[in-house]
Each structure stands twice: as structure tokens, then as C-alpha cells.
Amino acid sequence: MSYGSPAAGPEQVPVCPRHPDRVSYVTCQRCGRPACPECQRPAAVGFHCVDCVRELAAADQGRKARTVYGGTARPGGRPVVTFALIGLCVLVYALQWLVPNDEVYQDFAYANSAVLTAQEPWRMLTSAFLHSQGFFLHILLNMYTLWLFGQALEPYLGRIRFLAVYLLSAVGGSVGYLLLAPPPATAVIGASGAIFGLFGGLFVVMRQRGGDVRQLLVLIVINAVLGFVIPGIAWQAHLGGLLTGAAATAVIAYAPRGRSRTAVQTGGLVAVAVVLAVATLVRVSAVPVPAGLSL
């Protein structure tokens, strides 16, 4: 420890930077500058000066609020993606009626055909936005269920993660239909596979957060049984969507917190997509290609 000497001159008196006429021996715990009583603000430890308080407040405003699983929280928490998906399905349904010769159905429906899957794989997704023209309750019930489960699940996951789960579940439903539906090839349309994915996703979220899943489980079982009881319902697509949605949501919900969480979630969702792609390729490659067709 060193001491000043008379020869060194008087020690400089600390003054408040905002009020140079005021002596202050209290310093800001953040920047270390003196702060007079007027410029002091209580902090967790000691005091902060008003300048540091303003800087911290500006940083907090610039920092994005996050959902439970790391998504960007939006003001009001409106399920915008859910509404957009409903709107898109309604728009496509209107086009099914307006476009002549049933071209929308012919161009975008999916069938459990290895050849069709290999040549036009996008149908595995686009079919989820088509609905039966001969049964209006098909789109009505699907959109109502999407509205119910979307507004429950989207605020937890965030928009991008929710959309990823929905689209993966839609494809997963088509993969389930490709793998499990017996020949001959039959067309399948509707958002049911993706919606079953939301069933699985909400089940995972409720279990992870310690909620009571009994009522949801009963609802899933009832809807699954209907696929075996009512003719014309593709239970294979329901099962594929359910398992895919549960897997995709589990990747999001159980990713460790921290800076790497988004990377882990992204990698996990990509892994789910790769599994679906590999399952599709294995099924397609196992079917002989008819003469005259090139894949």
C-alpha cells in the first residue's frame, strides 16, 4: 500500500460527472464512476448511475422475448401461423371448386405409389392442403381442430418451430400411408396427418411440463379408433403424423437450455426429416420400376 506525500500535491476529489459541483465518494457498481445522491439508483449490489440504468434498459428492450422452448415471443401471442395454415387450406379448397377438370386434385393429391412418390415427391406435402369436395365436414372438422390445437401449441413453440412440426407431421402422414397402406395405390388428401402431429406435439409438451395428459390421451385414442371404424379414413396417415409430430416436438421440448439450444433443436428437426426421407427411399427402392418408366 502506498501513501501520498505533501510533495505530491493534494489528492483529486471525486465529483459526479453529471454534476461537477458535487463531491461524491459513492461509485457506480457497473462503470465505477462517482455518482451523487441525485444520480444514484439502487441495484442488486450497491448503486448504479443513471447512465448505466438507461443503457441496461435499452439493452433489455433490444433483447427479444422468448417462448418456453426458445422461440421468439410475439406481442399478444396470436397464433398467426395457425391462422395462415387455415387460410391456405380454405384457399386451396376454393380453388378445388373453381379450377375446372379437377386439376388441383389431380396435380397435388398423393397416393401410396412408389412410382408417383419417386417422380413427384412434393405431393407428400401438398396433399395435406387438399380436402374432399364431396364431404364438407372433412375440411370443417380439420380446420376447427387445427384452430383448437394450433392456438394451444403455437405459443409454446413459437411460430417457426410450430410450422416445422406441422409440415414435418404432414409429410410424416404421407410416409405412414406409403409404408402401411396395402395395394392397390389409393389417393389420400387432407390435413389429418398434420393435425395428428399436433396431437402428438401437445402430448409431449404437456408431459414435459408436468400436465395431466389423460383427457388428451382419450381424445387421441378416440380419433385413432375412428380411423378403423369409419371407411375411407387413412389411419396409416394419422399414425405417421402422430409419431412424427411427437418426435419433432420432443426434439424441441427436451433440448438443453443455453446458447446451443437452437442448434440442437434445428439438428434434431433435420434428423426427423432425414428419417422420413430414408424411410421413403427404402420403400420406393423396394418396388420394381415398371418397364418404360425411368425414375
Give just the sign of the alpha carbon dihedral 88, 237, 250, 270.
Answer: negative
Of residues 169, 192, 260, 294, which has the active-site annotation? 192
Whether residue 184 has a cis bond before it, omega within 30° of 0 = yes
Alpha helix ranges (H) inside the chain: 50-62, 80-98, 103-108, 114-119, 123-126, 136-157, 159-180, 192-208, 214-229, 235-253, 261-285
Q: How is residue 276 written as a grid cell?
A: 422420413
Give just the sign of the alpha carbon dihedral 32, 38, 43, 49.
Answer: negative
Of residues 238, 260, 285, 294, which has the active-site annotation? 238
Report the interhelical angle of 159-180 vs 235-253 (nearest 10°).
140
Is 192 among the catalytic positions?
yes
d(CA 129, CA 170): 9
Stretch (H or E) spanning 209: none
d(CA 38, CA 286): 79
Q: What single-letter DSSP state applies at residue 187? A: E
Is 48 among the catalytic positions?
no
Q: Which residues participate in catalysis according to the annotation?
A: 192, 238
